[in-house]
A and B are shown apart, each in its own frame.
Chain A
Amino acid sequence: MTNQCDVLIIGAGPAGLRAAHAAAASGARIVLVDDNPVPGGQIWRDGPGVKLPPVARGLRATVESLPNVQILTGTRVVASAGKNAERALLLENRTAGWVQHFDKLILCTGARELLLPLPGWTLAGVTGAGALQALIKSGLPVRGQRIVVAGTGPLLLAAAAAARHAGAEVVCVAEAATWLTVLGFAAALPRWPSKLGAAGALGLGAFAAYRAGAQVVEILGDDQVAAVRLRLGSVETELACDRVAIGFGLVPNTELGQLLGVALNPADAIAVNAAQQTCLPHVYAAGECTGIGGNELAQVEGTIAGLMATSMEAGDARIGAVQPELRRRAHWQAFAIRVAAAFPPPPLARQLPRADSLVCRCEDVPYAALAACDNWVQAKLETRCGMGACQGRVCGAATRFLFGWNPTAPRHLLAPARLATLAARPISIN
């Protein structure tokens, strides 16, 4: 295993693959790391239950064939190993842990779903909306199951389509946004024809089951999902189902960047300049870790980051070299702004957890215990909220939404790791 490279890219989704492709032209030695079994990220997740679009197949095959790109899948970043400004990360895969040195780093860590607590959300059969899509792509059997998809945002339609395609019966798609908002969003779509086409296809498929201004307020069941309580206006109904897929949009994965010391922007994504460069000159970032914007934007940003990280030119001349990419980036950024404005997490979601509803799923911390705390640090100290296996990835964003708390920057370790990995090298603990 080569432990030194010129460009280390974390995340092999659309942004990371584009970054690797663009950077490879310079002849630089590139290592592309991803914790999933195969490249593609979430949107291009490959598996037995999916047929990838040709552009995804083509890009992945191209990057896999590049002699100066080494792809390390099933590999997780555990910690920073950069003592004394050394550029290095501690990585772990199934069999080993090692320190990976680099000259430039491109963070393409993507986004995760905003998953908000409500009564019953820990029952078996409840997943995120994007989660259901990902699980189905990887072979989860849902044929014949009755599924409720709920939350807000365009991802609900994609999740419903994936479920239906896999043989499930989608009994309801409950979109929290109003019809006015949904139709206003749809009316703006012709500016982005590919999105219009996708939304049209998904929307038609889900039309009969689609409810705007609707929200799942409770998930019922003993040990597994049996039904949901659906609120539509002032009316509540009970819908029997086998699964619930519920998502409230996406949260940028900024933890690794924060650990390294990069600054965030007001939207809590990694702040970058026009060259996709963070406040640390040797660290670039692209894709949804810099702001939620979708696949096309991630690809453009990845290309820019890959070119910039390997460019020998200085300043303005470098930016000038990617003018077409910059225009495309602006086009897709405008789309991202539309999505964010139309589908914020609904305020009603703040009122759904009951006193005994678990908010931190790792440490089983109920809402009432957290409501008694003033801030994230106090909650961690007094309740262990955010101190379990996921290290606050789920409850951190949830408590930010529920209580307005600001989770502290992550510390070592970023993920549970083996002692043997930690022994590979003393890590720097600040």
Chain B
Amino acid sequence: MRADAKPLSLRINGREVLVPCGISVAAALALAAPLGLTRHSLQGGSRAPFCGMGVCHECRVEIDGLRMLACQTTCAEGMKIFTDSLKTSSGGGSSAHSFSPFSKV
């Protein structure tokens, strides 16, 4: 993780962003836009990374077509990142885009 390494080129919501090598996607989102927002909640509230360690899933985003946690993913050259993606709109079973294979009580 050298600070002098060549910056990486990412696409965040279609826009090209240059970020330092070795940072997390959560950090890249905050560099690209002041709040570093990741998603909107069921009631429409803006959310950003919260627990910082892969617990709360507030930072789930779409990275190269996969649902990933921004705080646990290191940026790589050419990554395509989408916030508020349909792929990340739910984690449970209550919204229109979710699929919950098991009933949980």
Which residues of A line the B interface, CB within 8 A? Answer: 35-38, 42, 46-48, 74, 94, 112-113, 115, 122-128, 130-135, 138-141, 223-224, 358, 361-364, 377, 380-381, 384, 387-391, 393-394, 408, 411-413, 416, 418-419, 422, 429
A364-B42, A381-B105 known; A394-B27 Cβ under 8 A: no
Contact indicator A115/B105 (Cβ below 8 Å)? no
Which of B48, B68, B105 touches A94 (beta carbons < 8 Å)? Answer: B68
Q: Contact at B35–A125, with CB atoms within 8 Å?
A: yes
Residues A134 and B74 in contact in the complex (CB < 8 Å), given A139-B24, A364-B45, A413-B102 = no
Give the distance in Å from the alpha carbon of A43 to the alpha carbon of B35 in the complex: 25
A58 to B71, CA, bound (A): 25
Q: Do most interface residues of chain A lie in helix, strand or loop, or is the interface mixed? A: loop
**Contact residues of B between 12 and 53, Cβ < 8 Å to A:** 19-24, 26-28, 30-31, 35-37, 41-43, 45-53
Q: Are B20 and A48 in contact (CB under 8 A)?
A: yes
B78 at the A interface (CB under 8 A): no
Q: A141-B30, A412-B102 are in contact. Are A384 and B94 (CB under 8 A)?
A: yes
In the complex, the answer to whether B47 meets A122 with C-beta atoms within 8 Å is: yes
On chain B, the residues within 8 Å of A389 by CB distance are: 57, 60, 90-92
Known: A47-B23, A48-B20, A412-B102. 10 other contacts (CB 8 A): A123-B46, A127-B49, A131-B53, A224-B35, A361-B56, A377-B105, A384-B92, A389-B91, A393-B56, A411-B104
- Rounded to whole angstroms, the CA-CA distance of A123 and B48 in the bound complex is 8
Cross-chain contact B27 with A138 (CB below 8 angstroms): yes
Residues on the A chain within 8 Å of B56, using CB: 115, 361, 390, 393-394
Would you give 23 A-B contacts (Cβ < 8 Å), ordered by A?
A36-B53, A36-B72, A112-B51, A122-B45, A127-B49, A130-B53, A131-B52, A131-B53, A134-B53, A135-B27, A138-B24, A140-B24, A141-B31, A361-B50, A361-B56, A362-B92, A363-B42, A381-B105, A384-B92, A393-B55, A393-B56, A394-B51, A419-B101
Select A416's contact among B36, B47, B91, beta carbons within 8 Å. B91
In the complex formed, the residue of A with least CB distance to B38 is: A124
Residues of B within 8 A of A140 (CB): 24, 26-27, 30, 36, 49
The 8 closest A-B pairs by CB, nearest first: A389-B91, A139-B23, A131-B52, A139-B27, A389-B57, A138-B24, A134-B52, A124-B48
B11: interface (CB < 8 Å): no
Q: Are B49 and A390 in contact (CB under 8 A)?
A: no
CB of B70 to closest CB in A, whole Å: 10
Q: Which residues of B contact A361 (CB under 8 A)?
A: 41, 47, 50, 56, 58
